[in-house]
Structure 1
Amino acid sequence: MVTNKRMKSLVIVQLAGGNDAMNTIVPYGDGLYYDWRKDVRIEQDQVLKINDYLGFNPALSSIRDLWDQNKVAVINGVGYPEPNRSHFRSVDIWNTAESVGIGDSGWLGRAIREIDPNAENPITGVNFGRGLPRALSCKGVPVASVGDLENYGLLPDIEGEQSRELALTAFSQIYGSAMAHDTVSQFIGETGIQALKGADILRTAPQKYSSSIEYGNDPIGQSMRNIAQVLTADIGTRVFYTSHGSFDTHAAEMETHTKLWTETSNAIGDFMEDMKEHGLEDDVLVLLWSEFGRRIRDNSAGTDHGSGGVSLIVGGEVNGGLYGDYPSLKEKDHLQGDLQFNNDFRSIYSTIAERWLGVDPDVVSNGQFEQHSFIR
């Protein structure tokens, strides 16, 4: 169901591959950082200073500008008990908010179900990218997955509304007949019809969009532009998802990490400026996360899988600042060579669920977790 009332929207940006937290929010004021990092490090004179101890990697200059406007919350030491250094397992833990067993639904899928319990709007949740992230999966919850918004939809080359209606009717009849058979066929039929409806709604978004912002021509820049197109079209989408990477910097980290963060930071800066231009910056919250951090000690030109990461929250209604202590770099405080976590990532989910989306935080975060104050 599409409503005229402006609702709060959530944008998730996954930094796929395991972002190096130490080279994102840099503890330049701690000599141990330079002792542990002989090669893969940001020199003091390059750091965009937050205080006398921490600063942003210079590649995050656009995000630093938003920080100066009090629109960025930095959550230090993010993780979960008994961290797993496997990409697949750790991503699944973040996606499902289940760190012990194997979760059967995604945290965002559960949030969408709370927002739209009757699945009236097939595009309450939209993923920009290939496949469907586990975070968005949930039984009975339709989610659209878009590769290229400009060419998305059912036979987009069909011209004329009458021709389109005929095509939609034909495809609906095909899926409708499938629903008359067994349970699996019914599921396929229902999913197909929801996809048809979603595709036909989403195809209108680029036509409605007008902006003076020129996004980067890289994947994350174009994904954020697509999100802006759908968000400003006001067609009822509340949850957006995209990813960028790979941040799995075992080698050539200085070049790769700098490139990826420059693209990501610029895309976030452009997106927030776009939202401001459309009067929407107070209605959008952006969460940037990665499945884990990297090891404290570098391995010549790169870093290996670690724990203790960092998440960023961006938005006009964000209570900007640092949240949580930066993990100690002293060897006695290491977790097998990694940063210790001191902020459970599910506290972020719980905060967003209740204070931003207005849904049950315990359902979304899969338990009860202490909340942050990063939303005004």
Structure 2
Amino acid sequence: MNRRDFLSIAGALAAAPMPAAAALTAARADGAIKALILVDFNGGNDGLNTVIPIADERYRALRPTLHIPRDRALRLDDRTGLHPSLRPLMPAWNAGEWAIVQGVGYAQPSRSHYRSQQIWNTASDADDYRREGWLARSIALRMHTFGTAEAGPFPAGVDASQLHLPFDMRSFAASCEAAARAVHASRAQKGVTVIRLALNGFDTHEHQAARHASLLAQFADGIASLRETLTASGEWRRTLVMTRSEFGRSAHENDARGTDHGAGAPHFLLGGAVRGGLFGDAPKLDQLDADGGVPASVDFRRLCATVLDACWSVASAPVIGRSFEPLPFVRV
């Protein structure tokens, strides 16, 4: 993005009115978390090669060339391993600061990137079309966005002075460095700072192996560096990192040695206040949906409910439209 593009976007955002819900509700921080970092795996992350069912022979049968060999996976238990590119985050796992929620998604999943991202951003049912993001419906935010100008779950209009789009974004690691500075800068402020990071390229329809490994390595290196920086400053204990992706990918590989759009997938929560471990059900590869995706066992809105509870002590029902029980991965 060049400087002219940045100024054009910033000017448009500055002119936009603040939504009523955000304008009338003061930001508050009743929960344990003071900095929320959302990491978007744009394109649809392949969950089965990220959190690997190492004991399931069907996994290898469905992916004769793409499967991660058991001896290369980072073993979490007898049934579950991680992609080897995630090794830099193993200290967080060993410290009990990394929660992995398996089978996250929603009923009647859309295979459209745009529509599924819209559903995630608005926390709506698959057949419910909403315009406003779920965070915008609940609170006023100090928003920081790195690498993308899309509003996502945030308010559609924000003060341009609060929007940070680096002119030259060379790597995800740079995004994580700018995020660490934003967390540190907000230390003396009231309320919760919300930061959105984007990692693009997960739409791996062909030649997936090397590309997926590189993307996960960028994520792991960046978040490991973020954790190290914020641990040293004492701010990791009040920070929550949560991944998002519009859908998982097909359980079977295609003829181009890639995978197609799927359904449920695992997601990550990291932070000093996180209660680490595996949550949700392991993928049932003998019960795939009609399009070959892993069915969701955890509604993604339970993650939203957990965030609302941990950051603002806000119940999910008034924001999302019905109540969702928070997941027990944040220490009170």
TM-score class, shorter: 0.7 to 0.9
CA deviations 1:163-191 (Å, max 9, x no partner) are xxxxxxxxxxxxxxxxxxxxxxxxxxxxx
How far off is 1:45 after superposition? 0.8
Select which of 123, 137, 140 maps to 1:110.
137
Point out the structure with max Rg over C-alpha. Answer: 1
How far off is 1:339 after superposition? 0.6
How far off is 1:307 after superposition? 0.3
Task: Determine the structure 1 residue equivalent to 2:128.
Answer: 101
Query: Counterpart amino acid of 2:66?
Result: V
CA deviations 1:1-29 (Å, max 9, x no partner) are 999x9961100000000000000000011
Select which of 205, 216, 221 maps to 1:250.
205
**Alpha carbons 2:53, 2:283 under 8 Å: kept:** no
CA distance in 2, matches of 1:95, 1:267: 24
**Alpha carbons 1:97, 1:366 under 8 Å: kept:** no
CA distance in 2, matches of 1:240, 1:364: 20
Secondary structure of 1:105's counterpart equals coil
Q: Which has the higher helix share?
A: 1
The change in CA–CA distance for 1:142 and 1:96 in structure 2 (over 3 A counts) is farther
Alignment of 1:102-181 (within 5 A): 102-113=129-140, 124-138=142-156, 142=159, 144-148=162-166
Task: Determine the structure 2 residue equivalent to 1:343.
Answer: 298
How far off is 1:98 after superposition? 1.2
Unaligned ranges ≥5, structure 2: 1-25
CA deviations 1:93-139 (Å, max 9, x no partner) are 000101222112112223433xx6xxxxxxx122112323321135x
* 1:326 equivalent in alignment to 2:278: no
Unaligned ranges ≥5, structure 1: 117-123, 152-216
How far off is 1:358 after superposition? 2.3
**Alpha carbons 1:80, 1:344 under 8 Å: kept:** yes
Task: Determine the structure 2 residue equivalent to 1:308.
Answer: 264
How far off is 1:361 after superposition? 2.4
CA distance in 1, matches of 2:222, 2:73: 20
CA distance in 1, matches of 2:320, 2:40: 17
**Alpha carbons 1:7, 1:283 under 8 Å: kept:** yes
How far off is 1:260 after superposition? 0.4
The change in CA–CA distance for 1:63 and 1:110 in structure 2 (over 3 A counts) is farther
Task: Determine the structure 2 residue equivalent to 1:230.
Answer: 182
Secondary structure of 2:278's counterpart equals strand
* 1:219 equivalent in alignment to 2:171: yes
How far off is 1:334 after superposition? 1.2
Task: Determine the structure 2 residue equivalent to 1:204.
Answer: none
CA deviations 1:265-290 (Å, max 9, x no partner) are 11000001100011111110000111
Query: Counterpart amino acid of 1:101?
Result: D
CA distance in 2, matches of 1:37, 1:74: 23
Select which of 225, 229, 232 maps to 1:270.
225
Secondary structure of 2:309's counterpart equals helix
**Alpha carbons 1:112, 1:141 under 8 Å: kept:** no
Secondary structure of 1:248's counterpart equals coil
CA distance in 2, matches of 1:308, 1:357: 27
CA distance in 2, matches of 1:263, 1:295: 23
How far off is 1:304 after superposition? 0.3
**Alpha carbons 2:305, 2:326 under 8 Å: kept:** yes
The change in CA–CA distance for 1:225 and 1:366 in structure 2 (over 3 A counts) is farther
How far off is 1:244 after superposition? 0.3
CA distance in 2, matches of 1:241, 1:77: 23
How far off is 1:353 after superposition? 0.3
* 1:56 equivalent in alignment to 2:82: yes
How far off is 1:145 after superposition? 3.0
Secondary structure of 1:62's counterpart equals helix
Query: Counterpart amino acid of 2:166?
Result: D
What is the Cα-based RMSD across aligned positions, in Å?
Answer: 2.3
CA distance in 2, matches of 1:366, 1:69: 36
CA distance in 2, matches of 1:145, 1:309: 30
CA distance in 2, matches of 1:365, 1:9: 21
Any runs of at least 4 consecutive aligned residues in structure 1 with deviations exceeding 4 A, and if so which?
A: 140-143
